[in-house]
Amino acid sequence: MAAQTVSRRSALKAAALVAAWSASPLRAAARAADAAQVSSKIEALIAAMTLDEKAGQLTLMPSAWGGSKAAGLNPPGNGQSFESQIENAVAGKLTGVFNGNGAVMAQRMQRAVMERSRLKIPLIFAADVIHGHRTIFPIPVGEAASFEPELAERTARAAAFEAAGAGIDWTFAPMVDIARDQRWGRVMEGAGEDVLIGRAFAAARVRGFQGHRLTDDDAMLACAKHFAAYGAAEAGLDYNTVDLSERTLREVYLPPFKAAFDAGAVSTMASFNEISGVPSTANHWLLTELLRNEWGFKGLVVSDYTGDEELILHGVARDGRDAARLAILAGTDMSMASNLYALHLPDLVRAGEVPLERVDEAVRRTLTIKSMLGLFDDPFRRIDPNREKYRSRRPAALALAREAGWKSIVMLKNEGDILPLAKSAKVAVIGPFAAGQHDLIGGWCVYGDDEQAIDLATGMRNAGGQITVTQGSGIEEPLEGGVEAAVAAARNAEVVVLSLGESQDMSGEAQSRVDIVVPPPQQALAEAVAAVGKPTVVVLRNGRALALAGAVRDAPAILVTWYLGSESGNAIADILYGKRSPSARLPISFPYASGQEPYYYDRKTTGRPQPAGERADYKAQFRTVPNAALFPFGHGLTYGKIGYGDFAAGDGKLAWDGALEVSALVVNSGKRAVDEVVQLYVHDKVASVTRPVRQLVAFRKVALAPGASQRVRFTIRRDALEFYGLADKPTVEPGEFKVWIAPSAQHDGASGSITLVR
Ligand code: BGC
């Protein structure tokens, strides 16, 4: 194949890519001169590469020597042996592998490539490091409940320290898909239903993974996924059709991606789904017109796992060759797992069906990413088996997992202040999650291990609690004699802790549910135990919001504990026994019933909103449940007694280019020090486009000592009131806005009105 000359235009493009990265606030130190030098190296490589080598640079495969659970998550690369995968890499047919087996695996592959390949282009090693590597942190939706993005930044930093120590350059995280249908299993992987929370956690996680400098040996490249609107699948059925207005796409689903890119993420993954008839992997409008031309994204787009090949089953590609053509032309730079680019790109270019410039552009982006990660300077910078061991599960990381754990626990109810428990109380811990090394770390842990996590019973014993343990039921099947044993245990105890919910593989990829309930055998167990009449605390384990019913819903105290990771049981015990006061808030609404899904707090009023009080006909409501959440977004109690009042907004006038302070007095009249998450919501009373009943525009965690009160202040500017207008661009309209400073999306809190004046 003919060698290419280095054109000035292409060199400038690579320089611009590096410079754009350097110009991001975190990368200010990288200099333009370096960028130009790097780009000319990259151009020289592109000029030296054959078409086959270029296609290989765009081909990422699952590691044939997968780490821990990798083989279960994704089948290893096309049935290849590790040895043949190494030979493929040496032959230039691979850009790298993902979900491999740590530093030893990476070392063997990288060494072979650096010693034996023609161009010695280092491999890149990727992995799904979603919520921790060896030390596992709460599932992302749980961590979002902390309403503390800085915490997510710290756990992502700790995950990068371990994972980069194990040879991983690139994480397929953060998952920034907004999730508004709790039937969808991948709710667990994101930051929930709200756009502001989604943006804040997306940016925080990118900062955490990428650290100070991408070249550091404890930094990983972040990949914001899945671009885009993957969470809007019809019926919450994973991979299903998405049909959205451009307004909703831009207002709800895209902002967390923009936030991730603004925070420095230079890779993104095309989603499996279609949007209004066009699968993302083949969506030129999405991947090129919007992402690149409108947003100026300079990074790399990787397909999802066989996402290009799936264009055939979507019915938009005739065969693998056609699928590769559509994907690369749309803007998918790198192909994951299908091998279609390696198989077909050279021929597509030779046949004139794909311009060589397009392939070069994708190769340039790939090589630039490798260069940003410092791989050309030192291909082994993250690969060191000793460092892998040393960095794994350090005490500081485990302490952070515990902190993230208790900060993620949401207390939904605490009637009669039955929590916290006295350590002297005789507690019957009942339920399938009471004890045992299972369902602790949650889904999407390639390298974590339930065996190394602390279960609930151990955590309660560690805290000095007096407990008995009775399983009572299986997760989805009854246990013979289980209910009887549980009832007997409850009778002999002073308090019951009922540990119920979903197994960790009931959520995650491809795990959609039609009924988002506590499985029936566990519900039956709860009913029988409730009949004993002892004070009962329900401790839920869950990867999504659940529709709680009967004895579970009616228990005096309920904790939402997700899957908290390595320190699960200790973190729950911290809350149960009052070492810590709960401070987390629901990032997803808990509906009354499954049939309300998709349900989210910032819905529209409709022309016939449900009136307060008795059910009235011809209103937007179900026959049996209110058009509301049982436990709304933002809800979560503390061990204090919190009141909101005395709303103030100055003269209530927000000048067009000005700022207006709104505030409320928040009082803790309880006996415990707490952290209260104070939330600011607005509603645009009249606009040219219908606006949500409420929208979160700011939040703040405030420490309140017993008896303390604090005036909590927020500053509102015009941009908080923006929406995607009739003219298909962001707009703000003057007028009156209702404002709430409140403890949840359904609480009145302290409220008033402001007027935006032009
Ligand atoms: C998932 C991605 C993941 C990839 C690689 C796919 O099935 O959708 O989120 O990064 O596999 O493991």
> Does the C-beta of 393 come closer than 6 Å to ligand 1?
no
Using DSSP bridges, classify how beta strands 730-731 and 723-724 pair: parallel, antiparallel or unpaired. antiparallel
Task: Tell me the β-bridge partners of 696.
Answer: 681
Least confident of 30-39, 73-82, 212-221, 438-447: 73-82
Determine the residue of 139, 172, 175 to mutate for testing ligand 1's pocket, defined as the one with the most ligand atoms within 8 A of the Cβ atom.
Answer: 172
Angle between helices 356-372 and 8-23 (to 10 degrees): 40
Distance 520 CA to ligand 1 centre (A): 31
C-beta of residue 136 within 8 angstroms of C-beta of residue 186: no
126 alpha-carbon distance from chain centroid: 18
Residue 130 above 80 pLDDT? Answer: yes
Task: Tell me the β-bridge partners of 540.
Answer: 500, 560
Q: How confident is the model at residue 68 (pLDDT cuts 50, 70, 90)?
A: low
| pLDDT given for residue 12 in this prediction | 46
Minimum-distance ligand 1 atom for the alpha carbon of 225: 9
> Does the C-beta of 523 come closer than 6 Å to ligand 1?
no
**Over the stretch 151-183, which tens digit does the pLDDT of each residue have?**
999 999 999 999 999 999 999 999 999 999 999
Q: How confident is the model at residue 32 (pLDDT cuts 50, 70, 90)?
A: confident
Where does 248-296 show beta strands of DSSP type E?
267-270, 274-275, 278-279
Which amino acid residue places its CA nearest to atom 8 of ligand 1?
A: 304
User: In Å, how far are 178, 221, 677 from 212, measured between CA atoms?
Assistant: 27, 12, 29
Which amino acid residue places its CA nearest to atom 4 of ligand 1?
A: 305
Rounded Cα distance between 310 and 319, Å, is 10
List the structure tokens of 456: 């609930």
Neighbouring residues of 239: CB distance < 8 A, sequence distance ≥ 6: 233, 272, 273, 510
Phi then psi for residue 15, to 5 deg, are -65, -40
Distance 402 CA to ligand 1 centre (A): 27
Minimum-distance ligand 1 atom for the alpha carbon of 172: 10
Structural domain boundaries in the chain: 405-596, 640-757
> Does the C-beta of 137 come closer than 6 Å to ligand 1?
no
| pLDDT given for residue 38 in this prediction | 84
> Does the C-beta of 577 come closer than 6 Å to ligand 1?
no
| pLDDT given for residue 70 in this prediction | 67
Number of CB atoms found within 10 A of residue 8's CB? 9
C-beta of residue 147 within 8 angstroms of C-beta of residue 178: no
Ordered DSSP codes for 606-652: -SSPPPSSS--SSSS--SSS-SSEEE-TT--B-SS-EEEEEEE-TTS
Residue 24 above 60 pLDDT? Answer: no
| pLDDT given for residue 697 in this prediction | 98
Buried b (16+ CB within 10 A) or exposed e, 529-558: bbebebbbbbbbbbbbbbbbbebbbbbebb
Determine the residue of 509, 511, 512 to mutate for testing ligand 1's pocket, defined as the one with the most ligand atoms within 8 A of the Cβ atom.
Answer: 509
Neighbouring residues of 615: CB distance < 8 A, sequence distance ≥ 6: 621, 623
Rounded Cα distance between 311 and 318, Å, is 8
Least confident of 394-403, 412-421, 434-443, 616-625: 616-625
Q: Cβ-count burial of 588 within 10 angstroms (0-12 exposed, 13-18 middle, 19+ buried)? A: buried
CATH of 640-757 among 2.60.40.10, 3.40.50.620, 3.90.1150.10, 3.30.450.20: 2.60.40.10
| pLDDT given for residue 4 in this prediction | 37
List the structure tokens of 368: 């630039």
Number of CB atoms found within 10 A of residue 461's CB? 17
Task: Tell me the β-bridge partners of 501.
Answer: 541
> Does the C-beta of 304 come closer than 6 Å to ligand 1?
yes
| pLDDT given for residue 7 in this prediction | 44
| pLDDT given for residue 16 in this prediction | 52
Residue 21 above 50 pLDDT? Answer: no
Specify the DSSP element, H or E, that contains 347: helix 340-350
> Does the C-beta of 447 come closer than 6 Å to ligand 1?
no
405-596 topology per CATH: Rossmann fold (3.40.50)
**Over the stretch 410-467, which tens digit does the pLDDT of each residue have?**
999 999 999 999 999 999 999 999 999 999 999 999 999 999 999 999 999 999 999 9
> Does the C-beta of 509 come closer than 6 Å to ligand 1?
yes
Which amino acid residue places its CA nearest to atom 11 of ligand 1?
A: 305
Residue 1 above 50 pLDDT? Answer: no
Using DSSP bridges, classify how beta strands 642-648 and 426-430 pair: parallel, antiparallel or unpaired. unpaired
Distance 381 CA to ligand 1 centre (A): 25
Which amino acid residue places its CA nearest to atom 10 of ligand 1?
A: 172
> Does the C-beta of 310 come closer than 6 Å to ligand 1?
no
| pLDDT given for residue 31 in this prediction | 60
**Over the stretch 223-257, which tens digit does the pLDDT of each residue have?**
999 999 999 999 999 999 999 999 999 999 999 99
Domains 405-596 and 640-757 share a fold: no
Determine the residue of 130, 184, 305 to mutate for testing ligand 1's pocket, defined as the one with the most ligand atoms within 8 A of the Cβ atom.
Answer: 305
Distance 305 CA to ligand 1 centre (A): 6
List the structure tokens of 131: 């919520």
Please name which of 200, 191, 258, 184 lies closest in space to residue 224, comparing C-alpha atoms: 258
| pLDDT given for residue 613 in this prediction | 86
Q: Which amino acid is at 198?
A: G
Max alpha carbon distance in the chain (Å)?
83
Ordered DSSP codes for 364-425: HHHHHHHHHTTTTT-TTTTB-HHHHHHHTT-HHHHHHHHHHHHHH-EEEEEGGG--SPPTTS
| pLDDT given for residue 740 in this prediction | 98
Distance 505 CA to ligand 1 centre (A): 15
565 alpha-carbon distance from chain centroid: 15
> Does the C-beta of 225 come closer than 6 Å to ligand 1?
yes
- Which are the catalytic amino acids? 304
Using DSSP bridges, classify how beta strands 426-430 and 466-470 pair: parallel, antiparallel or unpaired. parallel
Least confident of 34-43, 599-608, 698-707: 34-43
Which amino acid residue places its CA nearest to atom 7 of ligand 1?
A: 305
Number of CB atoms found within 10 A of residue 671's CB? 11
**Over the stretch 287-316, which tens digit does the pLDDT of each residue have?**
999 999 999 999 999 999 999 999 999 999
User: Region 215-230: what's the mean pLDDT?
Assistant: 98
Residue recorded with tokens 């009832």: 487
Using DSSP bridges, classify how beta strands 59-62 and 536-541 pair: parallel, antiparallel or unpaired. unpaired
> Does the C-beta of 125 come closer than 6 Å to ligand 1?
no
Minimum-distance ligand 1 atom for the alpha carbon of 226: 9
Minimum-distance ligand 1 atom for the alpha carbon of 189: 9
42 alpha-carbon distance from chain centroid: 33
| pLDDT given for residue 95 in this prediction | 98
Rounded Cα distance between 525 and 432, Å, is 10
> Does the C-beta of 172 come closer than 6 Å to ligand 1?
yes
Minimum-distance ligand 1 atom for the alpha carbon of 70: 12
**Over the stretch 9-18, which tens digit does the pLDDT of each residue have?**
444 454 555 4
Distance 51 CA to ligand 1 centre (A): 27
Residue 586 above 70 pLDDT? Answer: yes
Distance 207 CA to ligand 1 centre (A): 21
